[in-house]
Structure 1
Amino acid sequence: MRDWSHAEHVRATGVEIGRMADVLRDADMSTPVRTCPGWNLAELTTHLGGLHRWVAAMVRDLAERPYDRNGTDPGLPADPGGYPAWLGEGAGPLSEALLSQDPQAPMWSWGGERRVGFWSRRQLHEAVVHRVDAELALGLPVSIDEDVAADGVEEFLEVLPYVRWNPGVAELRGAGETISLQADTGAGWVVTLDPDRFHHQRSLQPGTVTVRTTTSADLLLVLWGRRSADDYAVEGDAGLLGWWREHTGI
């Protein structure tokens, strides 16, 4: 695994937004997105493109509190056929806003890091997961760069404690049980359930339950609920893994 800079996260975000815009070009925007129940491609696209514009505005202003996402006009085209291009156009202003600020500059975020750098990383992995959603909806092959995916696994584990809108996260406690996430590429993490919290560390050790996949991309999709853990090797207490997955929806 490698460590990422703020600028690298921003550049990779732009690449991922462009990839999703390409995936959506000429697609039927009414296609259901099975990994986001109740949404179609149009709703998935407007969610992500609106998010980019919302984040860009807050980063530009170093906002101390969240802006009203419904309070500004994102410039959405009247014709859904224009949504893919509109999505792609949002990458430029988002990148410019993020690169214009010191990644350590304080601002509001919903995670543990109240600084600009939270948003460059969060927007990368938001774009990756929703690009996968679009590809799965259209029956296209899914591919995620290994370095991006490994960073995404760690980012998921870092932000999970702050997912206040899922009450199940507050129940992720235990008596030292461990969930081990291992990829054949050499990336690995172990989550430990303590009586008052859960925490994670990079580790290649097995756990109370261990999930073994080919790549970090597989692990990322399992964590985000885009793939079933049943598709991969599970060793140990499968019930613990099922309980973890039930409580970790973001």
Structure 2
Amino acid sequence: MYAHKSVAVREGVEPEPWPPQEFAEEEPRALLDRTYTALRAEFAVRAPRVPAAAWYGPDRTVGFWIRRMAQETVVHRIDAELSAGQPVAPVPDDLAVDGIDELLKVFVAHSVAEWGDCFTGVLAGSPGRTFLVRTDAAAWRARTGPGLFEVTDGAGEGTADVTVSGPAPAVPRWPWNREGADGAAGVTVEGAPEAVEELRRCVVIATQ
């Protein structure tokens, strides 16, 4: 996870092939510690606006990877807590809000725009739906249709086919399917099952 990003930041290219064979010969925890330290060192000597290789065309900078790694670390921290049967530690509101924003815009909307064929099975037959994702700190409105997934900031006007709402730290766990034994952890999902499934399938494809 960390080593790949270090190469993208340091050398400005996506490393190929990946992963290197020598990684298989290193003890996993030592590998994690070593590559995490190396990535932090790369971030420390580069400003966020410095160019870096990235799969997200609108933002190929070091700042993109700082954001991405912060969000990825949160999700995998929750994975570890759920796997160990431990309570999920709170996620700061600002980090949680940014995580929802990144998921909807950087992952789903960008993926549908760039790799629309991957979503044909989900969106080709879409009647055109509206999704409202709302926390106590921010809101987003997404609109779908054949080959379409558009996201705008704010709750907008009118009703939505699906509304996902709850505390900011809890809402990102629902689309990432990290709900755990406590269910949706305070998240309320309202809408027809087929409409909810459309949103879920778009997220799954975009984040594979």
TM bracket (short chain): 0.7 to 0.9
Shift of 1:94: 0.7
190-199 or 125-134, which moves further after superposition?
A: 190-199
**In the alignment, does 2:18 pair up with 1:69?**
yes
1:61-90 Cα shifts (integer Å, max 9, x gaps): 122x44322236348644x6xx1x653443
The alignment of Structure 1 onto Structure 2 pairs a total of residues equal to 193
Where does 1:1-250 land on structure 2 (aligned, <5 Å)?
A: 51-63=1-13, 65-71=14-20, 73-74=22-23, 77-78=26-27, 83=29, 86-112=31-57, 113-142=59-88, 143-160=90-107, 161-162=110-111, 167-168=118-119, 171-172=122-123, 174=126, 176-183=128-135, 185-205=136-156, 206-213=159-166, 215-227=167-179, 232-249=187-204, 250=207
> Which residue identity does 1:145 align to in structure 2?
P
Native 8 Å contact 2:134 2:165 kept in 1:
yes
> Which residue identity does 1:192 align to in structure 2?
R
> Which runs of 5 or more structure 2 residues have no equivalent in the other structure?
none
Write the distance in 1 (CA, Å) between the matches of 2:162 and 2:184: 12
Shift of 1:239: 2.2
> Which runs of 5 or more structure 1 residues have no equivalent in the other structure?
1-50
Write the distance in 1 (CA, Å) between the matches of 2:120 and 2:32: 31
Native 8 Å contact 1:110 1:162 kept in 2:
no
Write the distance in 1 (CA, Å) between the matches of 2:26 and 2:20: 17
Native 8 Å contact 2:174 2:187 kept in 1:
no
> Which residue identity does 1:238 align to in structure 2?
P
Give every structure 1 segment of 4 or more consecutive aligned residues whose post-TM-superposition deviation is greater than 6 Å. Answer: none
Shift of 1:159: 2.2
Shift of 1:194: 4.0
Native 8 Å contact 1:209 1:238 kept in 2:
no
TM-score, normalization by structure 2: 0.78
Q: 1:87 to 1:104 in 2, by over 3 A?
A: same
Shift of 1:175: 5.1
Q: 1:203 to 1:169 in 2, by over 3 A?
A: farther
Q: Secondary structure at the match of 1:247?
A: helix
> Which residue identity does 1:211 align to in structure 2?
V
TM-score, normalization by structure 1: 0.66
